[in-house]
Each structure stands twice: as structure tokens, then as C-alpha cells.
Amino acid sequence: MREQFVKEFVTKLVNQIPDDALKIVYQKLTIFVSDYEIEPRKTEIVPYEGYLPECYEIYFATRKIEGLSIRSLELYNMVLRDFFFQVNKQLTEITTNDIRVYLYQTQETRKISNATLDNRRVIIHTFLEWAANEGYIGSNPCRNIKAIKYERAQRKPLSGMELERVRNACETLRDKAMIEMLYSTGCRVTELERLNITDVDFEQKDVHLFGKGDKHRTSCLNVRAELAMKNYLATRNDDNPALFVSERAPHGRLKKPAIEKRVRQLGEMSKIGRRVYPHLIRHTTATDGLDRGMPIEEVQQFLGHVNINTTMVYAQVSRANLKRDHRRCIV
């Protein structure tokens, strides 16, 4: 192999340097490479050896049983597959440094934000913590990696005037009913999508929601929402059980993208100068509830938050109310 290398190298220099110099290069290079092992570089694609842990499918089955949503399962699967593909080690061989290098390289190559990066860290930590608790590994190598700091963008709720302008932008009874239902119940857009007519109890003023994590909860119907819903349902002449349907035949259930698109359009038509989306209305509902004296535990239950820390985000919004209550109470 050494001789072949020398000959091929010298051949490349023919007609580029004088023959006398070519002989010297040949002699010197022959002597020089005698102390080296030379092999041609392998350029074929090395197939991924597939280090997905044996417990991988068991983990996802467990999380599905625990009620993790389909969207969350898909996100977990995407992140974890990428992690194991990049690290390319057996589960028991993964170290804390492997995780740090993965997170660093992922941010460098993909230019993702610290918030997105920390979300990946949480997903990896959750899987490895489960694996440690189940006995698949001795300990979780991600425990020593601290949360990645980032600035949380504070979502500003709609003001009373902005909400009224969105209401005034509604062109149809369905528009009006949809906005009032979102605000009254504080429901997520997926919960609104799943609602059936039978889920609304006009007598008890209750709305039975089925949403995140396949969990049921009951929210409330205020007077505005009740009137808007009754007016809208009175115009329906289809037999679809869905609460909100498309306005064109065959009047299928209104899906999440269509709801988001219509709410965005209503926001644009209201000319309030910023984007309106279903979760902003949910945020507004929570903030208004807290501002008007609803205990945070009730808001937590109302919104369907498992962790009260999630609800605390809304409690930090109203600086004006804090100053007002401080003047009232701290005298």
C-alpha cells in the first residue's frame, strides 16, 4: 500500500516539476512512508447502528397510559430519537458530558433559542429519570445539568377595550359564539374543537371539556356566552353533534387550524394592532379572573392546570392591581 501511495503521489507531479526533482521526491517519500501504515480512506456511508434503548417503546406506552397528549408524545419522540441518533451510544454508556455536548452542538448547528434548548433538556431528563427509576440505568446522567436560563416573554392579555373590539368584529353568530365560549370557559383550542352540543348544559351553566392529556373538566358558561350559543344553535340545520361546524355543507366539525385562522382574522378586523389567537383569549380570561378577585386555586382548577406554578404566570401580570392592593393594605 505504501508503494502504491508513493507511485500515485509522484504521478500527480509529472509535468509539474522537473524530472530530477521528481526522482528526489520519489526517493525521499519512499523512505518517509516506510514508518507509516497507509490505508485508503473509507468514504461509504456508515449506517446508523440504532442505539434506541430496548425500553424506548415501553417508555412511550407508559406515558400514553399516564395521559400524555398525542402532540406531546410526538414531540418527545422527535427529540429523543434525535438525541440517541447523535449520541449513538448504549443507554447505560451515556454520560453527563454526552448530553452537554449534544445540547451545545444542537444549539450551534440549528440556532435554536435557549427556551427551545431547555425544552429538549427537560425531555431528555424526563426519559432518563424514568429509566433510572425503572432500573434500566443506575442513575440519571442529566440530573447534574441545570436548567438553561432564558427570558420568558410576558404575554400581555387583551384589555377590556381590545376584547370589545374583537367582539364587535364578529360577522356571524358562529363568530360571536366562538369568541364568547373561548372567553367564558378559558378553554384551549383543542378543547373547543372537541366540544359537542351535548357537552353544554344550559340549565346548570356548565361546559364539559375534554382536552389536554385526555382529561375531563367542567367549566362555566356566563350570560354572554349562553345567549351567543343559543342564538348560534338556533340557526343550525345540520345533524352534526359537534358544537362548532363549518358554514358550508356538509357542515363538518370545525378543526383547530380553522378555529385559529378565524380568530386571527377577527383580530385583524378588530384593528387592535396585534395578533389575536385562542390562547391569548384563554390568557385574558385567567388574568381577568385573578384581577377581579378569583382565588388562584380556583383559577388553576378552572384552567385545568396540573401544577399551580403554571397558573402563577397569570398572577404576575397585573402590576397595576399590585400597586392598588399595596396602597389599600400596606398603610
CA distance from start to end of the chain:
91
Residue 109 CB-half CA count within 13 A? 7
In the residue annotation, 212 being an active-site residue is answered as yes
Catalytic residue among 279, 323, 324, 326: 279
Question: Are 179 and 263 spatial neighbours (Cβ–Cβ below 8 Å)?
Answer: yes
Contacts of 177 (CB under 8 A, 6+ apart): 225, 228, 229, 231, 232, 233, 244
SS3 state at 97: helix
Question: Are 206 and 221 spatial neighbours (Cβ–Cβ below 8 Å)?
Answer: yes
In the residue annotation, 279 being an active-site residue is answered as yes
Catalytic residue among 174, 188, 262, 283: 188
Catalytic residue among 56, 102, 183, 314: 314
Catalytic residue among 120, 176, 212, 283: 212
Identity (one letter) of the amino acid at 209?
L
In the residue annotation, 305 being an active-site residue is answered as yes
DSSP 296-327: HHHHHHHHT-SSHHHHHHHHTS-HHHHHHHHH
Catalytic residue among 165, 174, 262, 282: 282
In the residue annotation, 277 being an active-site residue is answered as no
| Exposed / middle / buried, residue 66 (Cβ in 10 Å: 0-12, 13-18, 19+) | exposed
| Phi, psi (degrees; rounded to nearest 5) at 168 | -70, -20
Angstrom distance (rounded) from CA 157 to CA 90: 47
Contacts of 171 (CB under 8 A, 6+ apart): 269
> What residues are labeled active site?
188, 212, 279, 282, 305, 314
